[in-house]
Amino acid sequence: MNISQAFKMAWKSIWGKKGRSILTMLGIIIGIAAVMTIVSAMNGYTEKTMEQYNAMGSNKLQVYIYSYVYDEEGNNIGKDYFPDLYNYCKTLDSISGVTPQGWLSATVVYGTKNSANMSWETDEQGNVTSAPPDLYLGSDQYAVCNNLTIAKGRDLTVLDCERYNQVCVMGSQAAKTFFGTVDPVGKTMQVNGQNFDVVGVYASRLSEDLASMSTADNFIVFPYTATRLLGGERPTQFIVKVRSAGQLAEAASRVRGFLKGLVNPSIGDSQVYSNDEWQQQMNEQMAMISLVLGGIAAISLLVGGIGIMNIMLVTVTERTREIGIRRAIGAQRRSIVTQFLIEAAMLCGIGGIIGILIGTGGSYLTGQLLFHMTIYPALWITACAFALSVLLGIGFGIYPAAKAAKLQPVEALRAE
Amino acid sequence: MTAMGKHLIELRDVYKIYGEGLESEVRALDGVSLTIDAGEFVAVVGQSGSGKSTMMNVLGCLDIPTRGDYILDGTDVRELTDRELSQIRNREIGFIFQQYNLIPSLSVLENVELPLIYQGVRADDRHDLAVKALERVGLADRIKHKPAQMSGGQQQRVAIARAIAASPPIIMADEPTGALDSHTGHEVLTFLQQLNREGSTIILITHDNGIAATARRVVRLQDGKIVEDYRQEVDWF
Residue A224: DSSP 8-state: G
Per-position b or e across B155-193, b if 16+ CB within 10 A of its CB = bbbbbbbbbbbbebebbbbbbbbbbbeeebbebbbebbb
Residues A194 and A316 in one domain: no
Which is higher by pLDDT, B94 or A246? B94
| pLDDT at position A122 over 80 | no
d(CA A83, CA A170): 24
Closest to A1 (Cβ–Cβ): which among B87, B101, B117?
B117
A7 by Cβ neighbours in 10 Å (0-12 / 13-18 / 19+) ranks as: middle
d(CA A326, CA B118): 9
* Res. A281 pLDDT band, cuts 50 70 90: confident
Residues A381 and A286 in one domain: yes
* Yes or no, beta carbons of A16 and B105 under 8 Å apart: yes
| pLDDT at position A213 over 50 | no
d(CA B227, CA B42): 15
Residues A30 and A119 in one domain: no
pLDDT (tens digit per residue) in A260-275: 988 888 888 888 887 6
Residues A234 and A330 in one domain: no
Among A259, A278, A297, the domain boundary falls at: A278
Q: What is the per-residue pLDDT for A54?
A: 64
* Yes or no, beta carbons of B90 and A2 under 8 Å apart: no
Which of A227-231, A372-376, B17-21, B201-205 is predicted most confidently?
B201-205
Does B64 lie at the interface with A, CB-CB under 8 angstroms? no
Residues A257 and A294 in one domain: no
Residues A105 and A244 in one domain: yes
Q: What is the per-residue pLDDT for B192?
A: 94
* Res. A173 pLDDT band, cuts 50 70 90: confident
Residues A13 and A88 in one domain: no
* Res. B87 pLDDT band, cuts 50 70 90: very high
Residue B55, Cβ neighbours under 10 Å: how many? 27
Q: What is the per-residue pLDDT for B200?
A: 94
* Yes or no, beta carbons of B62 and A331 under 8 Å apart: no
Which amino acid is present at A336? I
d(CA A170, CA A188): 12
pLDDT (tens digit per residue) in A68-100: 888 887 777 778 888 899 999 999 998 989 999
Closest to A328 (Cβ–Cβ): which among B89, B105, B119?
B89
Does B57 lie at the interface with A, CB-CB under 8 angstroms? yes
Does A19 lie at the interface with B, CB-CB under 8 angstroms? no
Residues A306 and A273 in one domain: no
Q: Are B120 and B129 in contact (CB under 8 A)?
A: no
Does A328 lie at the interface with B, CB-CB under 8 angstroms? yes
Does B70 lie at the interface with A, CB-CB under 8 angstroms? no
Which amino acid is present at B48? S
* Res. A129 pLDDT band, cuts 50 70 90: low
In degrees, rounded to 5, the angle at the alpha carbon of residue A323 between the alpha carbons of residues A321 and A327 is: 115
Distances (CA, A) of A275 to A91, A94, A271, A349: 22, 15, 13, 43
d(CA B173, CA A134): 93
d(CA B27, CA B32): 11
* Yes or no, beta carbons of B118 and A327 under 8 Å apart: no
Q: What is the per-residue pLDDT for A244?
A: 81
Query: pTM for the complete prediction?
Result: 0.69
Supply the ipTM of this predicted assembly.
0.92
Q: What is the per-residue pLDDT for A218?
A: 85
pLDDT (tens digit per residue) in A304-359: 999 999 999 999 999 999 999 999 999 999 999 999 999 999 999 999 999 999 99
Mean pLDDT of B100-104: 92
* Res. A57 pLDDT band, cuts 50 70 90: low
Residues A390 and A316 in one domain: yes
Among A233, A260, A278, the domain boundary falls at: A278
Residues A269 and A314 in one domain: no
Mean pLDDT of A243-270: 86
Which amino acid is present at A114? N
| pLDDT at position B64 over 60 | yes
Q: Are A356 and A20 in contact (CB under 8 A)?
A: no
Question: What is the distance, to the nearest Å, from the Cα of residue B94 to the centroid of all Cα atoms in its chain?
Answer: 6
Split into its structural domains, chain A has a count of 2
- CA-based nearest residue in chain A for residue B102: A325
Does A20 lie at the interface with B, CB-CB under 8 angstroms? no
Does B119 lie at the interface with A, CB-CB under 8 angstroms? yes
Mean pLDDT of B98-115: 92
Does A406 lie at the interface with B, CB-CB under 8 angstroms? no
Residues A80 and A107 in one domain: yes
The number of helix segments (H) and strand segments (E) in chain A equals 14, 15
Residue A136 parent element (H or E): strand A134-138
Residue A380, Cβ neighbours under 10 Å: how many? 10
Count of A–B CB contacts within 8 Å? 64
Window 142-201 of B: residues touching A by CB (8 A cutoff) are: 162
Q: Are B161 and B102 in contact (CB under 8 A)?
A: no
pLDDT (tens digit per residue) in A177-196: 888 888 999 999 999 989 99
Q: What is the per-residue pLDDT for A131?
A: 75
* Yes or no, beta carbons of A333 and B86 under 8 Å apart: yes
* Res. A206 pLDDT band, cuts 50 70 90: low
Does B117 lie at the interface with A, CB-CB under 8 angstroms? yes
Range of the domain at A206: 59-278
* Res. B47 pLDDT band, cuts 50 70 90: very high
Residues A133 and A8 in one domain: no
- Provide the mean pLDDT of chain B: 92
Residues above pLDDT 70, as percent of chain A: 93
Q: What is the per-residue pLDDT for B3?
A: 47
* Yes or no, beta carbons of B63 and A331 under 8 Å apart: no
Which amino acid is present at A314? V
* Res. B5 pLDDT band, cuts 50 70 90: low
Q: Are A247 and A94 in contact (CB under 8 A)?
A: yes
Residues in B touching A333 (Cβ below 8 Å): 82-83, 86
Which is higher by pLDDT, A367 or A30? A30
Among A278, A296, A331, the domain boundary falls at: A278
d(CA A64, CA A68): 13
d(CA A172, CA A115): 16
Q: Are B110 and B67 in contact (CB under 8 A)?
A: no
Mutate to test the interface with B, among A329, A337, A339, A343 (most CBs of B within 10 A): A329
CA distance A212 to chain B (A): 57
